[in-house]
Amino acid sequence: MLANMEWYRVFYFVAKSGNISKAAEELYLTQPAVSHSIKQLEKKLGGQLFFRTSKGVTLTAEGEVLFKYIVQAYHFMETGERKISEMQQLMAGEVKIGAGDTLSRHYLLPHLERFHHQFPAIKLQVTNRTTRETIALLKEGKIDFGIVHLPIEDKQLIVREGQRIQDCFVAGVRYRGIAEHPVSLSKLLEHPIILLEHGSSTRRYIDRYAEQQGHVLHPEIELGSVDLLVQFAQIGLGIACVVKDFITDELERGSLFEIQLEPPIPPRHIGLITLKDVPVSAAARHLMAMLP
């Protein structure tokens, strides 16, 4: 078991200066306090570390061996301090993020590009998982923060409400006529519906909305990604539920048409989640601050 770390610190300064009084000055200690620490260390290690000379003190053979390792230890500590400083200044480090495919592509990616341009030395790792899986990764310590769909209730998490998003139903040219006037959900369900598979927070949110309108959704097609929902809707296979904020290009081009529901689906938010009582690195904090 290591002796008092302060004894090694005193030993290092005495060995480096070769003089007890000079070491005492550097350490802001009295000479008796320095001598006492050396004696305590010698007692602990069972051998003499210095012998006196007319000019001060010189290391014994045992002291030389110990000093070699203490110098290495100090260098490691200095390196550690420098690395921490670099991380605080965003000159080094790594950020691990958990987010679903859609949020990674449409929400995270533009800001990630800007962050990487500003801080190229920071390594970035993005793990694509569902909201539930992202929360699990966060609790296991495998990611620094997660990007998820809200709402979420979990006492272990700190949740920051981010960008507001709007879910909507869209269709291709084949169903363009339905988009000309607002329709009820019951009228919409007379047509084939395309939804995300069960298990995603988006699917749960839409199912809850339908239940509030007195309906249970039985989609014609269930898919694993929003990109596929868009493509299936564009070629006329049905009416898909997607996030309006992520399909602005398709709506502007006219390859998709939004169907106005009455009442509309309530808006929700993207959330940034971290674990309570677990500090977030400077790099992760900076990236999170860049996300709307």
**pLDDT of 91-140, one tens digit each?**
777 899 999 888 999 999 989 989 999 888 889 999 999 888 999 999 99
- Alpha helices by DSSP H, listed for the chain, are 5-17, 20-27, 31-45, 61-88, 101-103, 109-118, 131-139, 185-188, 201-212, 226-234, 248-253, 282-290
CATH of 94-164+270-290, one of 3.40.190.10, 3.40.630.30, 3.30.342.10, 3.40.50.300: 3.40.190.10
Q: How far apart are CA 273 and CA 153, in angstroms?
A: 11
pLDDT > 60? residue 1? no
Q: Which fold has domain 5-88?
A: Arc Repressor Mutant, subunit A (1.10.10)
Q: Measuring CA to CA, which residue among 195, 196, 177, 193 is closest to residue 185?
A: 193
Strand, coil or helix: 147: strand
Q: Provide the percentage of residues in the chain whose pLDDT is more than 70.
A: 98
pLDDT in tens, 173-214: 998 888 889 999 999 999 999 999 988 889 999 999 999 999
Q: How far apart are CA 186 and CA 188, in angstroms?
A: 5
Same topology between domain 94-164+270-290 and domain 167-266: yes
Q: What is the mean pLDDT of residues 78-84?
A: 77
**Confidence band (pLDDT; 50, 70, 90) for 279?**
confident
- Alpha helices by DSSP H, listed for 119-237, are 131-139, 185-188, 201-212, 226-234
pLDDT mean across residues, the chain? 91
Q: Measuring CA to CA, which residue among 127, 105, 114, 111 is closest to residue 246?
A: 105
What are the phi and psi torsion angles at 193 (to 5°)?
-110, 140
Query: Would you say 241 and 217 are in contact if contact means Cβ atoms under 8 Å apart?
Result: no
Q: Which residue has the tokens 């979420």?
A: 152
pLDDT in tens, 224-272: 888 999 999 999 999 999 999 999 999 999 999 999 999 999 999 999 9
Give me the pLDDT at residue 2, please: 56
Q: Other CB atoms closer than 10 Å to residue 202's CB: what's the count?
A: 23
CATH tag, 167-266: 3.40.190.10
Q: How far apart are CA 236 and CA 257, in angstroms?
A: 11
**For the chain, what is the total number of helices (H) and then of strands (E)?**
12, 12
**Confidence band (pLDDT; 50, 70, 90) for 3?**
low
Query: Would you say 262 and 270 are in contact if contact means Cβ atoms under 8 Å apart?
Result: no
Give me the pLDDT at residue 74, please: 84
Q: What is the mean pLDDT of residues 275-281?
A: 87
Whole-model pTM: value is 0.69
Output DSSP code: residue 197. P
Q: For the chain, what is the radius of gyration of the CA atoms?
A: 32
Q: How far apart are CA 271 and CA 274, in angstroms?
A: 10
Q: How far apart are CA 183 and CA 2, in angstroms?
A: 76
Domain ranges of the chain: 5-88, 94-164+270-290, 167-266
Phi-psi region of 93 (alpha: psi -120 to 50; beta: other; left: phi over 0): left
